[in-house]
Structure 1
């Protein structure tokens, strides 16, 4: 058992953790930084949708973690297990303890496959697929290629989840594949959402309803997948009516894409850093912990009510880095994060609707001359080429990419509603 100390300790080496470390290194060449991350492989998760749709490969989304972390940053290849914020230390699974001056917590979230009865036993076979894991995403494309006709179900669990648009993005890609084969009329496609609407921001929900209609997709809301029998190809949903009454219904399928329930990692839930819902309890604007002033949180594990996307991380990183540097210099922390997130909605195999929004569902586009409700080929290029390049070569390397996004940009489009 060993003990070590670092000025800045980061829990999690995903998009948020690597970006914070490398951004901090660019701002301060001397600060002592360490990352706790057990995985040797790093995935560009926004690419999983188009892997499932057959337009990308898993290899294209994969890099070695060691190649992403700045060589002057200490990589602790271990799992964080217990936080001791009153002692400024973290216990690791190996038994080691690491102490810190400043702590950044960004381990991502966990996929709760077990919350759907029978899912783990059938996932990856019986035409039961999911884009939400590197281990399962390629099977989605196998299913779409193999199925010739029948019922294709696409599910969405209760919020919050990573990229709230992803459960329907793969549905549109599948529908477009069927259309290009000339077999769309042989399918019954249904979107079953545990939530009450197609999308959380009404401005985009209305536009997406037209996409749904164009493909002839049926939508069912307040339908939560609770069990699945893969061999029998039967899915069980809990439905909720307008008065809150619940009942269970079953649906037969020939293919089903499952988005699993998601939550904060268990070691976060049971920690003194968590709020009542289990997320790292931070101020939504400064990203500073509400109780411990030398702790910050960002990314998917944070309590901030924004879309859990890589675009949100891109905007959160400078806020966290600058506030830590302010504390180092005995200055006050500043707000700066407005809840921005971006969801490139793949409405076909050649076009994307770029949904950008901030806290309270405010529509905040970055490109004021373009109607954000319109699916465009330029955003498909962004999804498949531009955004991945920005991720690997700018964001993860610690460069700051600040494209202004303003609510006022959307006002003329709002008037047209």
Structure 2
């Protein structure tokens, strides 16, 4: 009933990877009276979207009913958040209901800001543009890249915070491998636009640069997508040498991103900083001004690179610390800044980039320093093993 009020020991905002996993970990640890606020009816495994766009995975395997992944004993509140009121320990929902909490975990993910680039919304509605950041657009990208035989293809990564920003490159490498195998790569001009000084991070640049040279890709560093002329199929790129106008036959975009609007408007956001992400201690993941509020994943203003791979350690830290907080104890678990980006540099190999929040290598297997090299085994793990681990172990709070 609209306008109703309810109280829970733990309220989790967001039913994606982070929300489901942290709630499952808390339930496994014996914490009860947990509620997850999530409006969507479908749960998506987004790391496979780049495989969908690259033609190495069907879109159907990335989706399951949200109800099927909800941890047992956790209440699912199928509504969206309208506002958060941490001074009164309350969350107001769009449907009018009000939730109060002992502990709040904020992990709603990130918002795709398509309208921040003039002409981008219109471009996505044309036959020549797509993205692998939404499932239907990833399916569209797959057919566009597969059917292209000649012309210019532009792939772009946005400036500023983004979820697994390096994923902008993944469909590109898979497409180039396919075009080479089908004999059309030489008839194509492939441009990759990144805002960073190098293609990614220093420990992994050499491997990626080798593939870029192998495929003949034109790399634009310190560059961004400024605007799109959807009707004329032209993009304007901003870089060190000024604006560059490029006609495209296919455009694949990673859109600009920020925190959800309701989060930007809340007192949880970092004061005076754009983006609207939740202020947290980067190690304990606790809010410095509201001691019963925690955040993780893309919506948290952590120091690490935003990516799904960071969540495994973050959910472990938050679940441990929230359990202690419920007992009146101080947090003890600490997040080490770990992040990972598996670059699918062909249709059968991956460069496995693991790093910390200082950009240094941080391999899961410390003695195996060559994990970052191009590998067929890493591709098998990324494409086939990790999806099984996600559905059966990560979402159940077991790893």
CA-atom RMSD in angstroms: 1.2
Offset of residue 185 of structure 1:
0.8
In 2, Cα distance between equivalents of 1:220 and 1:239: 8
Q: What does residue 255 of structure 1 align with?
A: 250
Q: TM-score, normalised by structure 2?
A: 0.96
Q: 1:289-321, CA deviations, whole angstroms, 9 ceiling, x for partnerless residues?
A: 111111000000000021222210011001001
Q: CA deviation at 1:95?
A: 1.0
Aligned match of 1:380: 379
Deviation of 1:335 (Å): 4.2
Q: Which residue pairs with 1:225 in the alignment?
A: 225
Structure 2 equivalent of residue 185 of structure 1: 186
Q: Does the Cα contact within 8 Å between 2:354 and 2:372 map onto a contact in 1?
A: no
Superposition map of 1:44-193 within 5 A: 44-193=45-194
Structure 1: gaps spanning 5 or more residues? 242-246, 401-417
> Matches of 2:329 and 2:13 in 1, distance apart?
24
Stretches (4+) displaced over 3 A:
none
Residue of 328, 350, 374 corresponding to 2:326: 328
Structure 2 unmatched runs, 5+ = none
Q: Which moved more, 1:310-319 or 1:126-135?
A: 126-135
What SS does the aligned partner of 1:372 have? helix
**Residue matched to 2:8:** 6
3-state SS of 2:331 partner = coil
Corresponding residue number in structure 2 for 1:31? 32
CA distance in 1, matches of 2:362, 2:239: 33
TM-score (normalizing by structure 1): 0.92
Q: 1:366 aligns with which of 352, 364, 367?
A: 364
**Cα drift, residue 195 of structure 1:** 2.5
Matches of 1:369 and 1:248, distance apart in 2: 43
Matched-pair contact (CA < 8 Å) for 1:124–1:136: no
- Residues of 2 paired with 1:332 and 1:139: CA distance? 49
> 1:167-215 deviations in whole A, cap 9, x for unaligned?
111110110010010111111111112232210x201112211111111
Q: Does 1:357 align with 2:355?
A: yes
Cα displacement string for residues 31-69 of structure 1 (whole angstroms, at most 9, x for unaligned residues): 210000000001000000000011111110001110001
- The question of whether the paired residues in 1 share the 8 Å contact of 2:207 and 2:351 is answered with no
Aligned position for 1:406? none
- Is the 8 Å Cα contact of residues 283 and 336 (structure 2) preserved in structure 1? yes
8 Å contact from structure 1 (residues 124, 139) kept in 2 = no
